[in-house]
């Protein structure tokens, strides 16, 4: 299968692996296909495949096709053997089952995080039909911060925004956080999808990050921006538990005016302490 979609799907897997975000089989990627992208490969699809249960229910995705990485598959191997590591799946007419219509040629199942991916893709479709990509990775600096910052999306967002002026411009809706939970099922999918109703970044404590995008570059770029800011915060925290200088709430309001952004005031609280992670 050689299409534009296959190339861009592969590129993000390779580049993200090179970033060090995908040890072993860590992380996964999914994409809600456009009708014309399905038509391009229609002759290759096996519609006779057997239906399997989705852990969860996604009625708004009925009859849609998705390109997804496989469970236990390694991101670094997508480039070497696309058909072994990736699947195209189709969701049934009531959103309770899926079937593998292409790929995973040596056996296997779609990503262990299929529930989270599909539930996210469902709320994203309702939010903005163009949001088609959901991407999960294990970037080290972001995960490291989940051991020292409180489980509080407002604090997490504010501390990350302060690290890099681009941050509020790239993700003005801020970051949502999910406390540590068992991955791979419906519960964590529900919590993550709740965040994706309004925000483009969800951080799973002591695990990783979920982002969405209109295309692969946007999703990857968002992961990259959050992780870069997290890296700077880790560096700062290695020197001190306090910031001597930083961007003020008024500074953020000026950015919002300049770039015509809606920055939620709940992130712009007046800090009573210069200690990182305290309000």
Which residues are tagged catalytic? Answer: 113
For 244, the enclosing helix (H) or strand (E) is: none
From 1, 8, 10, 26, residue interacting with ligand 2HA (rule: CB under 6 A)? 26
Q: How many residues does the chain have?
A: 279
For residue 181, the minimal CB distance to ligand 2HA (Å) is 11
Sign of CA dihedral 135, 139, 141, 144: positive
Q: Using an 8 Å Cβ cutoff, are 164 and 232 in contact?
A: yes
d(CA 227, CA 279): 22
Q: Does 27 bind ligand 2HA (CB under 6 A)?
A: yes
Alpha-carbon distances of 229 from 45, 128, 201, 233, 257, rounded to whole Å: 42, 27, 13, 6, 22
Residue 139 interacting partner from ligand 2HA, Zn ion, none (CB closer than 5 to 8 Å by kind): none
Of the candidate spans 23-31, 174-182, 224-232, 233-241, the one that interacts with ligand 2HA by CB under 6 A turns out to be 23-31
Q: Of 28 and 199, which has the nearer Cβ to ligand 2HA?
A: 28
From 150, 183, 221, 251, residue interacting with ligand 2HA (rule: CB under 6 A)? 183
Q: Restricting to residues 172-211, name those near Zn ion by CB under 5 A.
A: 208
Q: Does 95 bind Zn ion (CB under 5 A)?
A: no
Q: Does 113 bind ligand 2HA (CB under 6 A)?
A: yes
Q: Does 28 bind ligand 2HA (CB under 6 A)?
A: yes
For residue 29, the minimal CB distance to Zn ion (Å) is 12
How many positions of this chain bind ligand 2HA (CB under 6 A)?
8
How many positions of this chain bind Zn ion (CB under 5 A)?
1
From 112, 141, 173, 246, residue interacting with ligand 2HA (rule: CB under 6 A)? 112
Question: Using CA atoms in the order 258, 264, 266, 269, what is the torsion angle rounded to 10 degrees?
Answer: 0
CB-based contacts of 89, cutoff 8 Å, min separation 6: 65, 66, 68, 98, 99, 100, 101, 110
Question: Using CA atoms in the order 52, 55, 59, 64, what is the torsion angle rounded to 10 degrees?
Answer: -50
The residues that touch ligand 2HA, with contacts defined as CB under 6 A, are 25-28, 112-113, 136, 183
Question: By the criterion CB under 5 A, which residues form the site for Zn ion?
Answer: 208
């Amino acid at each position: 299968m050689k299409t534009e979609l296959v190339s861009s799907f592969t590129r993000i897997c390779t580049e993200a692996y090179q970033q060090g975000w995908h040890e072993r089989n860590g992380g996964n990627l999914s994409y809600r296909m456009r009708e014309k992208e399905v038509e391009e490969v229609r002759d290759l699809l096996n519609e006779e495949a057997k239906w399997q249960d989705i852990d969860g229910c996604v009625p708004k995705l009925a009859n849609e096709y998705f390109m997804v990485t496989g469970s236990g598959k390694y991101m670094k191997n997508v480039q070497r053997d696309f058909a072994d590591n990736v699947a195209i799946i189709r969701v049934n007419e009531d959103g309770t089952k899926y079937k593998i219509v292409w790929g995973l040629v040596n056996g296997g199942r779609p990503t262990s995080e299929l529930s989270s991916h599909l539930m996210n893709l469902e709320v994203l479709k309702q939010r903005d039909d163009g949001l088609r990509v959901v991407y999960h990775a294990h970037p080290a600096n972001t995960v490291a911060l989940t051991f020292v910052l409180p489980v509080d999306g407002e604090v997490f967002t504010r501390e990350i925004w302060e690290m890099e002026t681009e941050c509020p411009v790239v993700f003005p809706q801020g970051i949502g956080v999910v406390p540590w939970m068992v991955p791979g099922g419906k519960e964590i999918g529900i919590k993550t999808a709740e965040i994706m109703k309004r925000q483009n970044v969800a951080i799973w404590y002591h695990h990783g990050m979920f982002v969405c995008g209109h295309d692969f570059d946007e999703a990857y770029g968002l992961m990259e921006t959050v992780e870069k800011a997290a890296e700077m915060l880790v560096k700062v925290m290695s020197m001190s538990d306090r910031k001597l200088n930083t961007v003020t709430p008024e500074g953020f309001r000026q950015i919002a005016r300049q770039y015509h952004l809606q920055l939620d005031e709940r992130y712009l609280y007046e800090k009573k302490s210069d200690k990182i992670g305290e309000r």
